[in-house]
Amino acid sequence: MNQARYSAVAILLHWVMALLIFATWTIAIAVSDLPISPARIAGISWHKWLGTSVFFLVMIRILWRATHPAPKLVLAMPFWQEKIMHLTHVALYLLMLIIPVVGWLMSSAKGYTVNYFGLFELPDLVTQDKALGHLLKEIHETLANTLMILVGLHFLAALKHQLIDKDNLLTRMSFHRGKKRD
């Protein structure tokens, strides 16, 4: 069964963001237990730069999606699976928006202005408040871990469709057109 494909821009945004999100999360995990050091500071800087990039890209992705609707899904799936798929996509988009904003709020509360690759600074969103900074850190980490769980489920669902259901679903978000099927 042939699936209608997303546009090349949507596919590129999807995969670039997937890599950035994974890299951003991995860097945060890698530096979280390091003592204060140049390596930790560099890691946190890269985490913030990539997280800010995710925020900018998700804004572009939402605008693109608003003007270029998703292609029609040609699958016979139970209603509950369709609802879970829809809710998962909504949750992914919300988390991709909320997590960077919470990180930005956290940096502001901790007294660290966020800069973007040294090109410009983002305005502080709140005044310095150590307790608020700690709370926002906990929220940021919980949301990020929730995002990674949803990304894992998204990935497993895509593999299930491709390998078990053999419905060629992955071609929707692939630059490769895949084999034609009847």
Q: Which token pair is 5?
A: 């494909």
Report the run of H or E that residue 116 belongs to, with start and end.
Answer: strand 115-116
Residue 73: left if φ>0, alpha if ψ -120 to 50, beta else—which one? beta
**Where are the domains positioned within the chain?**
8-173
The pLDDT assigned to 74 comes to 78
From first CA to last CA, the distance across the chain in angstroms is 6
Nearest to 54 by CA among 121, 116, 137, 4: 116
Cβ atoms of 17 and 100 closer than 8 Å? no
Range scoring the smallest mean pLDDT among 11-20, 63-72, 141-150: 63-72
* pLDDT digit string, tens, across residues 111-127: 999 999 999 999 999 99
pTM for this one?
Answer: 0.88
